[in-house]
C-alpha cells in the first residue's frame, strides 16, 4: 500500500506542477473518505487537479457544470416515462459516479446545492419514493470562484460543514508557472485523439487504503489534542487572552463533525507520510483545511483584519499537545 501511495503522489505532482500542497490534501480527503471544496481564482488548475486524480483511478468520472438554471433532477436523475412499457423507469444522473467534479458549485441555487449535499451526506439519492445507493467510492470535488459575486449563491455555513476539507488555492510561483508553460506545450505537440492516461489503481484499492488509515494507532494524548483544538475554536479566549483583548473573535466554533473530520484526516495524513501511527504534527498539518470553513469570525475580528486562517494559526500555536 505504501508503494501505491507514493505512486499516487508522484503522478499527481507530475500532472499538477507547483501545487504539491493541493495534491497532498486531495489525497488526504480521498483516503479520509470525505469530500473537498476547492476555492481559488480561475485558471489555477482546480479542474485539472480533479481530472488528474480521477485518471489515476480506474473509476467513473463525471464533471457537472453548475449554472443558475440547473434543476435537482439534472444531478440526481429522474423517473422517465417509457412509452414502450407504459411505466416510469429511473434514469441515473451524473451524481451516480465514483468521482464527481462539481464545478462552480456556488452558481447553482439552493435546491440544487442541497441535492448534491444530501448525496454527499447520505451516499444515496431519493427520486420519488425510491432511494438509490451511490458507488462505494463516492468522492466529490467541488470548486468555487471567490472573486465573482454576481449570479452566485454562497453556500450556507451548515452546508459548508458537510465538506471534510476546504482548500484555498493561490497562484503558483514564477518558476512553477514557467514549468507549466513548457509542459502544456509539449503535451499539445504530442497529443493524439486516442490518448488516455493509464490508471494506477482500482476503486477497491482506494477503499482498502481508507480502511488501513482507520486502523492506524492513535494515542489517547493525540485524541485529547484533537478535541482540545476543536474546543479552542468555541472558546478562543482561553488561549488568546492577550490577543483577544476582551473581544469576541469567533462567533461560532467547529462542530463535533469537525472533530471527526480532524481525526480521519490526521490518520490519512500519517498514512501518506508512511507511518502506522498518528502524531500531533499530523493533526496540525491538516487543521487549517479541516477547520477553516467550520468557524465564523466575529465583526471585531474582521474589523481588526484577522482572517479565519489567522485565528486558527494562533490557536494551533497556543493549544499544547498533551
Which of 44, 257, 73, 14 minimizes the C-alpha distance to 168? 44
Using DSSP, state whether 130 is helix, strand or coil: strand
Spell out a b/e string for 291-319, using b for 16 or more CB atoms within 10 Å of the CB, else e.
Answer: bbbbbebbebbeeeebebeebbebbbeeb
Query: Which CATH superfamily is 217-318 part of?
Result: Magnesium chelatase subunit I, C-Terminal domain (1.10.8.80)
- The residue ranges of DSSP E strands in 195-320, in sequence order, are 250-252, 296-297
Which helix (H) or strand (E) segment is 87 a member of?
strand 87-92
For β-strands 130-133 and 139-144, DSSP reports them as unpaired
To the nearest 10 degrees (0 to 180), the angle between helices 20-31 and 280-291 is: 100
Enter the C-alpha cell of residue 117.
449535499
pLDDT at 244: 47
Q: What are phi and psi of 157, to 5 degrees?
A: -60, -35
Q: What residue spans define the domains of the chain?
A: 2-169, 217-318
For β-strands 61-65 and 99-103, DSSP reports them as parallel
Q: How confident is the model at residue 147 (pLDDT cuts 50, 70, 90)?
A: low
Across 142-151, 174-183, 258-267, 299-308, which has the greatest mean pLDDT?
258-267
Residue 80: is its pLDDT beyond 80?
A: yes
Among the four given CATH numbers 3.40.50.300, 1.10.260.40, 3.40.50.1970, 3.40.50.720, the one describing domain 2-169: 3.40.50.300
Within 13 Å and on the Cβ side, how many CA atoms surround 59?
Answer: 28
**What is the model's pTM?**
0.88
Residue 195: is its pLDDT beyond 60?
A: no
Amino acid at each position: 500500500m505504501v508503494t501505491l501511495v507514493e505512486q499516487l503522489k508522484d503522478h499527481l505532482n507530475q500532472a499538477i506542477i507547483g501545487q504539491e500542497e493541493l495534491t497532498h490534501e486531495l489525497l488526504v480527503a480521498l483516503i479520509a473518505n470525505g469530500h473537498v471544496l476547492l476555492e481559488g481564482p480561475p485558471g489555477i488548475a482546480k479542474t485539472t487537479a480533479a481530472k488528474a486524480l480521477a485518471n489515476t483511478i480506474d473509476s467513473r468520472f463525471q464533471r457537472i457544470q453548475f449554472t443558475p438554471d440547473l434543476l435537482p433532477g439534472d444531478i440526481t436523475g429522474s423517473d422517465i416515462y417509457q412509452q414502450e412499457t407504459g411505466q416510469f423507469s429511473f434514469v441515473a444522473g451524473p451524481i451516480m459516479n465514483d468521482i464527481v467534479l462539481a464545478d462552480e458549485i456556488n452558481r447553482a441555487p439552493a435546491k440544487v446545492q442541497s441535492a448534491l449535499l444530501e448525496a454527499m451526506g447520505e451516499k444515496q439519492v431519493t427520486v420519488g419514493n425510491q432511494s438509490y445507493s451511490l458507488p462505494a467510492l463516492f468522492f466529490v470535488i467541488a470548486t468555487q470562484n471567490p472573486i465573482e459575486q454576481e449570479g452566485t449563491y454562497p453556500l450556507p455555513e451548515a452546508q459548508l460543514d458537510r465538506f471534510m476539507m476546504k482548500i484555498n488555492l493561490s497562484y503558483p510561483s514564477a518558476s512553477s508557472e514557467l514549468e507549466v508553460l513548457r509542459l502544456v506545450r509539449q503535451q499539445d505537440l504530442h497529443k493524439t485523439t486516442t490518448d488516455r492516461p493509464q490508471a494506477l489503481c482500482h476503486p477497491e484499492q482506494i477503499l482498502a487504503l481508507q480502511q488501513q488509515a482507520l486502523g492506524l494507532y492513535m494515542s489517547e494524548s493525540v485524541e485529547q489534542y484533537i478535541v482540545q483544538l476543536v474546543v479552542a475554536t468555541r472558546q478562543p479566549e482561553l488561549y488568546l487572552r492577550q490577543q483577544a483583548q476582551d473581544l469576541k473573535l469567533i462567533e461560532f466554533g467547529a462542530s463535533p463533525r469537525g472533530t471527526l473530520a480532524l481525526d480521519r484526516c490526521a490518520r490519512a495524513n500519517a498514512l501518506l507520510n508512511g507511518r502506522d501511527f498518528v502524531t500531533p504534527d499530523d493533526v496540525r498539518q491538516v487543521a487549517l483545511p479541516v477547520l477553516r470553513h467550520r468557524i465564523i469570525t466575529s465583526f471585531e475580528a474582521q474589523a481588526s483584519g484577522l482572517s479565519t486562517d489567522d485565528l486558527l494559526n494562533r490557536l494551533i500555536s497556543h493549544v499544547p499537545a498533551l
